[in-house]
Amino acid sequence: MQRRIRTRFAPSPTGPLHMGGVRTALYAWLFAKKNAGDFLLRIEDTDQNRFVPGAEQYIIDALHWCGITIDEGVSVGGTHTPYRQSERKEIYRSYAMQLVESGNAYYAFDTAHQLEQQRKNAEEKKETFSYGSATRMKLNNSLALSVDEVKELLSKNVAYAIRLKIPENETITFTDLIRGVVSFDSNLVDDKVLLKSDGMPTYHLAHIVDDYLMEITHAIRGEEWLPSAPAHILIYRYLGLTAQMPHYAHLPLLLKPDGKGKLSKRDGDRLGFPVFPLEWKDPSTGEVSSGYRESGYYPEAFVNMLAMLGWNPGTAQEIFNMNELIAAFSLDHVHKAGARFDLEKTKWYNTQWMLRQPNEAIAKRIKPMVATRTGISADDVRLSDNYLTACVALLKPRVQFEKEMPEKGIYLFKAPSEFDQTVISKKWKTEFISFFKMLSDEFMTLQDWSSQLAEQTFKTTAEKNNIKPGEVLQLFRVFVSGQAQGVDLFPMIQLLGKDEVIKRLETALKFV
RNA sequence: GGCCCGUUCGUCUAGGGGUUAGGACAUCUCCCUUUCACGGAGGAAACACGAGUUCGAUUCUCGUACGGGCUACCA
């Protein structure tokens, strides 16, 4: 019988989730949804030293913002509670003891200091210390010590860790869903700690116990876990759970755009772009890191961009909403090599998504920004839905982010107080004054007011003055908007209204 | 250093024994627009290198180089 597909995202609450983590979550979620399965959120808080308050909530909020829904997990509950590893502490011990009893794990009494010494000694000999088959019999553990010695240490409550006993001379092979067959020489795998001396499990033990108990079918995680995969395979084997072992898929890493290395939390804003989905304020330092949300990105654009970084649909389609991503997603179209993050393309995705937003919706969202920027009162027509929607239509092709609109189109809300001097000094001739005065008068006499009518009037007035429209058009724009460039001129004239245009024109003429 | 993974335009990528090696972002040119954008058309731009297999390798194999990851009682 085919098991129900279940994937999980299992972050450690050591700070805000960065975009690489979001991508891992996204792929795991897409895979689950594609296969009509479940997606779980489990919190791996087994390292008490690295716990950061607020991080767990941040993770939940970030996933929510991205539209990644959680079927089971820390925020929503489920049939496999609890979903926070610190609350499952006792469960792991019994599995660790089972491994000790079957001879596949052992007590290690070495102190942190002793291990540090070992590393230092090895380093002096230009070697690397590894706690494994080659060294374990010379160390302070239940394999090297006599039964009585071990008993005594245990009875005296001497702190110990439990380590996995990696076999000698074995090739450990498994099939990764993305990379195919991968194999390792067991002699090069170290005896990983399973249970720490504080009683908490390490990732290695905890994720396996939980994946098993939570009936995870596909463990999708970053490539940084590939080197410890052989130890994980062995743990499943020694626990007699090989049949229940999930399929592993190791995702390529997200790389820094500038050069070297994987994208990390610590990159913060150093590279000139957010690495986090949402803004984060460090609770201890108060330092604020920017987020995509606060920078004006749509979650759809952010998710779309992440999905395409390392995965492709096999078609030329680039813009995907969530449902389309689910329909198109497949692990075998995940690229093997790491993907370098590209800010320009990310902005392009946002622009594409902005172009697809209804004007009315954007109008509603920019309304408060326009109000604060201009100080115009709430009942002013320029803050009406109709007026703002018309502004959005005009501004849309000229910005990448909707939040740019209030500033970019400031002249749609406020008469200019300054005029682009470059245009004026280049184009202005004193004899134009009569043209603009006549234009103002002609406008005044118009019964109707429209883009076409204004344009027609502009042209005929120019002709009457023996002026080519092109000579004064740019000046007209500057007089009305203050700026040399902007939205389509006559539609803007129509939108501003006859009285406003005349008023602006007259004000401007006093300046030249 | 050791182990593992990887390598197609600047970037994200498609492709895969015989192709004019395709698309997107960015870039350049032109058109549209009497502005700036949007849009449209076009250009430049890539199979890391060396062997082997083969009639034929960018594609398969091996090696080298380069890149990345891991090498904690962190995840």
Helix or strand holding residue A220 (H, E): strand A218-222
Using the CA of A189, give the nucleotide whose C1' is nearest.
B3
Q: How far: A437 CA to B38 C1' (Å)?
A: 34
Question: Which two structure tokens, joined as six digits, stand for A45?
Answer: 């808080």
Model pLDDT, residue A1: 58
Using the CA of A129, give the nucleotide whose C1' is nearest.
B71
Separation between Cα atoms, residue A497 and residue A381, nearest integer Å: 11
Separation between Cα atoms, residue A313 and residue A317, nearest integer Å: 7
- Say which residues have a Cβ less than 8 Å from residue A346's Cβ, sequence separation at least 6: A273, A297, A301, A302, A305
Q: How far: A477 CA to B34 C1' (Å)?
A: 12
Angle at A36 between CA A32 and CA A41, to 5 degrees: 40
pLDDT digits (tens, 9 = 90+) for A207-228: 999 999 999 999 999 999 999 9
Rounded to an integer, the average pLDDT of A251-262 is 89
Instruction: Return the CATH architecture of domain A89-195.
Output: Alpha-Beta Complex (3.90)
Interface predicted TM-score of the whole assembly (ipTM), two decimals: 0.96
Which range, of A255-269, A342-356, A456-470, averages the lowest pLDDT?
A: A255-269
Q: How far: A338 CA to B55 C1' (Å)?
A: 37
| Main-chain dihedrals φ then ψ at residue A174, nearest 5 degrees | -150, 165
Q: How far: A338 CA to B6 C1' (Å)?
A: 8
Q: How far: A127 CA to B48 C1' (Å)?
A: 32
Q: How far: A130 CA to B64 C1' (Å)?
A: 29
Q: How far: A256 CA to B62 C1' (Å)?
A: 32
pLDDT digits (tens, 9 = 90+) for A28-53: 999 999 999 999 999 999 999 999 99
Is the pLDDT reported for residue A268 higher than 70? no
Fold of A421-511: Arc Repressor Mutant, subunit A (1.10.10)
CATH for the stretch A357-410: 1.10.8.70
Using the CA of A193, give the nucleotide whose C1' is nearest.
B73
pLDDT digits (tens, 9 = 90+) for A118-165: 999 998 888 899 999 999 999 999 999 999 999 999 999 999 999 999
Coil, helix or strand at residue A132: coil
Long-range contacts of A269-275 (CB under 8 A, 24+ apart): A272/A343, A273/A341, A273/A343, A273/A346, A274/A19, A275/A18, A275/A19
Active site residues per annotation of A: 265
Using the CA of A311, give the nucleotide whose C1' is nearest.
B13
Question: Which two structure tokens, joined as six digits, stand for A50?
Answer: 């690295």
Q: Which residue is nearest to nucleotide B11 (CA to C1')?
A: A342
Separation between Cα atoms, residue A197 and residue A194, nearest integer Å: 10
The greatest distance separating any two alpha carbons of chain A, rounded to the nearest whole angstrom, comes to 114
Model pLDDT, residue A126: 85
Instruction: Tell me, letter by letter, the H, E, C secondary structure of A377-404.
Output: CCCCHHHCHHHHHHHHHHHHHHCCCHHH
Which nucleotides of chain B have an atom under 7 angstroms from any protein CB? 1-8, 10-15, 23-26, 34-38, 67-75
Can you say whether residue A286 is alpha, beta or left, with left for phi > 0 and alpha for psi between -120 and 50 degrees?
left
| Main-chain dihedrals φ then ψ at residue A457, nearest 5 degrees | -60, -40
The answer to whether the beta carbons of residues A325 and A315 sit under 8 Å apart is no
Separation between Cα atoms, residue A149 and residue A365, nearest integer Å: 71
The CATH class of the A6-74+205-255 domain is alpha beta
Q: pLDDT grade, residue A185 (50/70/90)? A: very high
Is the pLDDT reported for residue A23 higher than 90? yes
Domain ranges of chain A: 6-74+205-255, 89-195, 357-410, 421-511
Q: Which residue is nearest to nucleotide B22 (CA to C1')?
A: A316
What percent of chain A stands above pLDDT 90?
Answer: 94
DSSP string spanning A143-179? Answer: TTS-HHHHHHHHHTT---EEEE-PPSS-EEEEEETTT
Query: Taking the CB of residue A316, how many other CB atoms lie within 10 A of it?
Result: 6
pLDDT digits (tens, 9 = 90+) for A434-479: 999 999 999 999 999 999 999 999 999 999 999 999 999 999 999 9
Locate tokens 């929607």: which residue?
A389
Q: Which residue is nearest to nucleotide B7 (CA to C1')?
A: A337
Using the CA of A44, give the nucleotide whose C1' is nearest.
B75
Q: Which residue is nearest to nucleotide B13 (CA to C1')?
A: A312
Coil, helix or strand at residue A449: coil
Separation between Cα atoms, residue A119 and residue A429, nearest integer Å: 82
Torsion, CA A443, CA A446, CA A451, CA A453, rounded to 10: -110
